[in-house]
A = this chain, B = another copy of it.
């Protein structure tokens, strides 16, 4: 596609990365702020993406033996209080329901809350406590285990600084909650779901991730261990894209999820929880979008192919529409993944150039522009979003290669993101290098990256330096073997390495 004289977005990644992020979302019409503080509206194009994310993940959850269920939106305050670390982690950002009706103000100037509740209810920030209280009722014997349940739901965490998709007061997510008879089985589950997330991130989102374990400070409140996938955004910051928690018996003790084991003894269950959210869409944007807008991986794109009919008269219109409809049907006969290829015809009454750029900004993988001249040659003018390549190809070739073209885009997007991540990941043994690597404007797109370095968890020298640099240990990668070395910060001997980065 011949580039427009300037980019389609009013700002580039290099000029102002955070502003560019907002502009991509606006240009692709994916979401916008709502009149409710911190809550977003997910618009049809963004929600279509979420539906595809849900569908792919849901199939993976079911293939690994999970079923869906639904638990209450509200959590009694006393439930949260049962697990001390847990409530500590969420108390500062809870939406609290205190009344159950509205009544007219005595002076008639509007309404006020009435019907105060005996116990305040918290809008779920996560559901370990309410789900655990049900598991306590459902589990008596080891025969009732495991319980392998997932929930698709909205949750609320009252964030003060919000950003569309990445951090919003309300967001959509899935939360898996499982209970097991043994520690080994629960640990296996925790790891299995991390692998599901990594597989999804890499093979559906085309977003390379590092699987690792969080250090104690970064753990989920109440967890024994938190596994995560971390991805590198185009500003080289890390995005935690999914977490899988091994909760040990912490929550089962607080909620009395007890069972009689095969030996007839009472034991507390071993539980896990794991989740990903609409934040993934933020990750998708910051992994793939460019200065012309969104770039979507074919496997998740709400439309994989858009056809733009071009004509100048009603007569031409009839001819062109006939042609594009039959082409769309032919393309839909083919499957990509498990489903018919998603083809959209855009016949809105808009100037051709404007229409084309709207689809560029939305990130549709393949664009086919077709007018009478193309039809005369039985050809289509094909634009590929990720490379910007455009070419006239015969209709037959376009149809015959559609699957391969989509596959090539999907692979290329992953390869590009992986190369970027690898180029910006450094192993360091020199503290000054580390400091200068991360110094600079926090919102710049040219500062930092991932640093692999030896460290000692809880080392106070490290903590001070990281705080000053606004850097965190993202995780201890699971595939790192112990290796003798010195803590980058204190110089003390250690076998452990982590990945350090600035993060969202």
The interface of chain A, by Cβ under 8 A from chain B, is: 32, 34-36, 39-44, 47-48, 50-51, 67-81, 87, 91-103, 110-113, 115, 120-123, 130, 133-134, 143, 149, 153-154, 156, 158, 170, 172, 349
Contact = CB atoms under 8 A, between A and B. Distances in A.
A172 to B, nearest CB: 7
A93 B97 contact: no
Given A71-B41, A154-B73, A156-B73, A98 B100 contact: no
A50 B152 CA distance: 13
A111 B156 CA distance: 19
Contacts of A72: 34, 36, 39-41, 170
The 5 closest A-B pairs by CB, nearest first: A39-B72, A44-B67, A96-B99, A42-B70, A91-B102
How many copies of this chain does one complex carry? 2
Contact of A134 (B41, B112, B158): B41
Nearest to A45: B67
B36 A75 contact: yes
B130 A102 contact: no
24 contacts: A35-B79, A36-B74, A36-B75, A36-B76, A36-B121, A36-B130, A39-B72, A39-B74, A44-B67, A44-B69, A51-B68, A70-B172, A73-B156, A78-B110, A81-B111, A87-B111, A91-B102, A96-B98, A96-B101, A97-B123, A98-B98, A100-B158, A115-B158, A153-B154
B91 A113 contact: no
A111 B91 contact: yes
Given A36-B75, A100-B158, A67 B48 contact: yes
Contacts of A41: 69-72, 134
A41 B136 CA distance: 14
A46 B110 CA distance: 41
Contacts of A71: 34, 41
Contact of A96 (B81, B94, B100, B170): B100
A112 B87 CA distance: 12
